Amino acid sequence: MTGVRGQSSDRGQFESQSLSGYMAGLKAQRMEARLEQRRSRNGDIDEEAVGIIQFRLKLRTIDLL
């Protein structure tokens, strides 16, 4: 992965490449799953829905690997 010199990739400042896009996608999926868990604890979404979302995210991750 070739990044912009002097800037770290963890801040999202890197050239658009397939690996960096994949990692950004995984980060977004994890954040989405955490949000769904938080909503569930607050009673907005039931536990079954959160389980289904997490299972789908795991399947997507396996498919991408």
Predicted local confidence at residue 24, as pLDDT: 77
The yes-or-no verdict on residue 43 having pLDDT over 70 is no
- Residues 61 and 37: their CA atoms lie apart, in Å, by 19
Predicted local confidence at residue 56, as pLDDT: 84
Tell me the average pLDDT of the chain. 69
pLDDT tens string 7-36:
455 445 444 557 777 777 888 888 888 887
The structural domains of the chain, with segments of one domain joined by +, span 17-64
Q: What is the DSSP letter of 65?
A: -
Write a three-state SS string for 2-53. CECCCCCHHHCCECCCHHHHHHHHHHHHHHHHHHHHHHHHCCCCCHHHHHHH
Q: What is the pTM of this model?
A: 0.36
